[in-house]
Structure 1
Amino acid sequence: MPRGGYARKRLWRWRANPLRRREDVVEAWIVLAVWTVFTVGGTAAGMVTARAADDAFARQRAERQPVTALVVRGVPATATVPRGTSGRLMTSVRWTAPDGSTRTGRTLVDTGVAAGSPVTVWQDGRGRLSPAPPTSTQAAVESGVLGTASAAALAGLVFGAGAAAKWRLDRRRLDAWGREWSLVEPGWGHRTP
């Protein structure tokens, strides 16, 4: 194939051509629209989602504070830890909330921790136990994953809509070919009785 022939072949729907149908032009515009929405919209959706997730993680890091709590009920070193867990068990702890009140709650601690032992727990601005906020690195990775997922979801929707539109165009082309063939076919050749 001569140099540049591939590009001409791929762009034939855009050139004037006696074989080009209206559906071919519509399909070319649909393909252009799908790729434009995919590139621009996917990038925007990914960036907006990643930014929103990063802001949420930053708020968590700012709001949640570590506090020292005392173990109310100890966990013996010989305690049975269920398979698939991190080797930690739930127990009761007591800590002081930001308003000065004493709170009691349940959290995971390592086995072998005696009653009265200090452990570090995380609390939110209201003094409730909360999970530790993600580190900056963890937040960046999770924000990137969420941004990529949102871009992929948009891509799926856009390509699905494009495929549905192309399917409809193909159905219209097949119907038109069927109508044209029913007009042309009787004049071709002879039929056997």
Structure 2
Amino acid sequence: MRRDNRHGPAVRYLRWWRWRRNPLRRHSDVVEGWVVLALWVLTLVGGALAGWAAAAGVDRTIADRWAGVHPVSAELTESAAHGTPVTAGYDIGRTWVTVRWTAADGSVHTGRAKALPTAAAGSQVRVWANRSEALVAEPPGKAESTFEAVVAGTLAVQLTVTVGYGTGRLIRHRLLDRRLAEWDTEWRHIGPQWRNLSGGRG
């Protein structure tokens, strides 16, 4: 049975041939090797930094949202059974109703909030208001914030790796075209000499 030596020392040697001295290595081969190595290092480091920055940005955005809102206890001014049903999102089954609450400065405000369809007029519901006492959506909780940060970081890493890989492929394609052009030029000079040595006619 023939032994498979595809992963033997010879293969490992060939993987680093651009950095080893050999008569077939060209200047463009060395350039390509260093370009590919530099791109991979930049892609890995850049991907890690981009992922961290994206995740940190999401964390800051959510923290700012939490800092700009506060919970209030509002009173339903109408029965939820007479409100408008929620038709989209995670709150399907709830109802839009008018609520009223008193701000810290004593001013009274009204707005629209979601409540269970069984809620009666005069019952209390927890809502979130911004600094202008306008009702806003509740900011994401800890689990949701972590999930959004992880997703943002992962997408940033994938985008950075994709750009780095695409750039590397483009550079290697250009270097290959240049190398083929060099080989074609050299063959124009060497080819006739080989034909003469082999007895052929130019």
For the pair shown, the structure with the greater C-alpha radius of gyration is: 2
Match among 142, 146, 161 for residue 155 of structure 1 = 161
Residues 98, 151 of structure 1: alpha-carbon distance in 2 compared, 3 angstrom cutoff:
farther
Residue matched to 2:170: 164
Residues 9, 121 of structure 1: alpha-carbon distance in 2 compared, 3 angstrom cutoff:
same
Q: RMSD over aligned Cα, in angstroms?
A: 2.7
Q: Is the 8 A contact 1:97 1:126 kept in 2?
A: no
- State how far apart, in whole Å, the 1-side matches of 2:23 and 2:185 are: 19
- Per the normalisation by structure 2, the TM-score is 0.80
Superposition pairs of residues 127-138 of structure 1, within 5 angstroms: 127-138=133-144
- State how far apart, in whole Å, the 1-side matches of 2:153 and 2:76 are: 40
Unaligned runs of 5+ in 2: none
- State how far apart, in whole Å, the 1-side matches of 2:169 and 2:78 are: 61
Shift of 1:79: 7.0
- State how far apart, in whole Å, the 1-side matches of 2:172 and 2:165 are: 10
Match among 104, 111, 122 for residue 105 of structure 1 = 111
How many residue pairs match? The answer is: 191
Tell whether 2:45 aligns with 1:7. no
- State how far apart, in whole Å, the 2-side matches of 1:33 and 1:42 are: 14
- State how far apart, in whole Å, the 1-side matches of 2:168 and 2:188 are: 30
Q: Is the 8 A contact 1:98 1:126 kept in 2?
A: no
Which moved further from structure 2: 76-85 or 23-32? 76-85
Unaligned runs of 5+ in 1: none
Residues 17, 83 of structure 1: alpha-carbon distance in 2 compared, 3 angstrom cutoff:
same
- State how far apart, in whole Å, the 2-side matches of 1:70 and 1:108 are: 12
Superposition pairs of residues 81-100 of structure 1, within 5 angstroms: 82=87, 86-100=92-106
Residues 92, 177 of structure 1: alpha-carbon distance in 2 compared, 3 angstrom cutoff:
farther
Residue matched to 2:39: 34
- State how far apart, in whole Å, the 2-side matches of 1:154 and 1:98 are: 47
Shift of 1:124: 2.0
Identity of aligned residues (%): 38
- Per the normalisation by structure 1, the TM-score is 0.83
Q: Is the 8 A contact 1:98 1:127 kept in 2?
A: no
- State how far apart, in whole Å, the 1-side matches of 2:85 and 2:106 are: 36
Shift of 1:163: 1.5
- State how far apart, in whole Å, the 2-side matches of 1:78 and 1:52 are: 38
Tell whether 2:63 aligns with 1:75. no
- State how far apart, in whole Å, the 2-side matches of 1:144 and 1:53 are: 9
Shift of 1:84: 6.7
